[in-house]
Amino acid sequence: QKEVEQNSGPLSVPEGAIASLNCTYSDRGSQSFFWYRQYSGKSPELIMFIYSNGDKEDGRFTAQLNKASQYVSLLIRDSQPSDSATYLCAVNEDQFYFGTGTSLTVIP
């Protein structure tokens, strides 16, 4: 059974701070990792994917992958109240495996 683990939170950060979301996975052979954002009552939307060790930046978002330690993280810089949502980590193997999600609240 492939496992993707996330701290369910809730995580609260003040506006303008850096939010750090973490995810660990069990299958050392996993190669592709995804971060989705989901607002309450809406469907998940892709924020970033990463498949190479190191950092990948897109605007205020940075995904970090460390295959040796089997973790992937998402940093949100200059957090905004509109970033308040649940963030889902996912791994693509024979199917897509999702973590349980981390609830983020950005306090104005």
Partner 1 sequence: DTEVTQTPKHLVMGMTNKKSLKCEQHMGHRAMYWYKQKAKKPPELMFVYSYEKLSINESVPSRFSPECPNSSLLNLHLHALQPEDSALYLCASSHFAARATSGANVLTFGAGSRLTVL
Residues at the interface with partner 1 (CB under 8 A): 31-32, 34, 36, 41-46, 49-51, 86, 88, 90, 92-96, 98-101
Q: Kindly state the smallest distance separating residue 45's Cβ from partner 1, in Å.
A: 7
- Comparison of 69 and 95: residue with beta carbon closer to partner 1: 95
Closest distance between partner 1 and the C-beta of residue 49, in Å?
4
Q: How far is the CB of 46 from partner 1 (least distance, A)?
A: 6
Cα–Cα dist 53/82, whole Å: 29
The residue (of 16 and 100) whose beta carbon lies closer to partner 1 is 100
Give the CA diameter of the chain. 41
User: Quick one: 44 or 79, whose CB is closer to partner 1?
Assistant: 44
Whole-angstrom CA distances from 14 to 37, 83, 96, 107 are 19, 11, 32, 5
Instruction: Read off the tokens for 54.
Output: 């190191």
b/e 57-88 (16+ beta carbons within 10 angstroms → b) = eeeebbbbbebeeebbbbbbeebeeebbbbbb
| Nearest to partner 1 of 90, 104 (CB atom) | 90
Nearest-approach distance from CB 16 to partner 1, in angstroms: 27
